[in-house]
Chains A and B, each alone.
With several copies, the nearest count.
Chain A
Amino acid sequence: MDTATPARVRVLFFARYAELVGRSEVAVSLPLPATVGDVVRRVRQDFPGAQALPERPLAAVNLKQAKLEAGVQDGDEVALLPPIAGG
């Protein structure tokens, strides 16, 4: 993949985070290589309400938990997850 091409990433918010941001999904574009952490920084910067998200939220890429250092690719689905409280 051409690393100069900007990647388009879907970002999903859940539960309390969706309430903070006021929506459950946004799209961001960012130059590659990029990490989950870069996506979080972009979201916190670009969307009102998203500044209230933690700087280091729990995250998943394509339905699997991922570290903030993990790379993202064009078309990835990045989810920001409040502390899990199921069961």
Chain B
Amino acid sequence: MVAEVAQPACGGTCLFLGTVRDGPDEHGVTAIEYSAYEAMVDAEFGRLLADARDRWPEARIAVRHRLGTIPVGEASIAIVAAAPHRAQAFEACRYVIEGVKQRIPVWKKELRVDGTEVWVDPSGRPTVRPSDHPSHV
């Protein structure tokens, strides 16, 4: 992916990897099952990258989002932005990951060591179990 966006005029490349996490805020997560509205994912990525190119016309950007079950420690998303100057590369990369979190229709279900499965809410904290009353932000 880095090679895909590289070119001689680009002096700065920013790569972001989002990785399945099992930290103190999680509770024995072994993997995350990613599901998506795949046709809309493609359409929305097209719009998101077009927005990014409008803001940073010199940046070259590539994105990969994995779906399905991804074990702890593996990356679910990779974003690379290469640009003539580093500020553009950082900003474009950050813009795309923030856009993914807001716009790309993907959902996560945490799979835990105790066998439970918990949908992740958008703040990143799994607060809603499938049997609870639905909440919506």
Q: Does chain A touch chain B in the assembled complex, meaning CB atoms less than 8 Å apart?
A: yes
The distance in angstroms between the C-alpha atoms of A82 and B135, with both chains bound, is: 9
Which chain A residues lie closer than 8 Å to B124 at the CB level?
A: 85
**Chain B 91-132 interface mask (CB, 8 Å, partner A; 1/0):** 000000100111111111100000000011110100010100
Which chain B residues lie closer than 8 Å to A19 at the CB level?
A: 130
The distance in angstroms between the C-alpha atoms of A12 and B121, with both chains bound, is: 20
B residues lining the A interface (CB < 8 Å): 18, 34-37, 39-40, 43-44, 47, 65, 76-77, 97, 100-109, 119-122, 124, 128, 130, 133-137
Knowing A83-B121, A87-B77, say if A14 contacts B105 (CB, 8 Å): yes
- Which of B43, B104, B134 is within 8 Å of A16, CB to CB? B134
Q: List 6 A-B contacts (CB under 8 A).
A: A14-B107, A16-B134, A20-B134, A52-B133, A81-B105, A84-B101
- Chain A interface residue count, Cβ-Cβ cutoff 8 angstroms: 25
Q: Are A87 and B40 in contact (CB under 8 A)?
A: no
Output the nearest chain B residue to A81 by Cβ-Cβ distance. B105
Q: Are B37 and A60 in contact (CB under 8 A)?
A: yes
The distance in angstroms between the C-alpha atoms of A83 and B36, with both chains bound, is: 12
**Chain A 39-71 interface mask (CB, 8 Å, partner B; 1/0):** 000000000000011101110100111000000
- Shortest A43–chain B CB gap in Å is 13
Other A-B pairs, 5, CB within 8 Å; known A79-B105, A83-B135? A15-B119, A20-B130, A54-B135, A84-B106, A86-B104
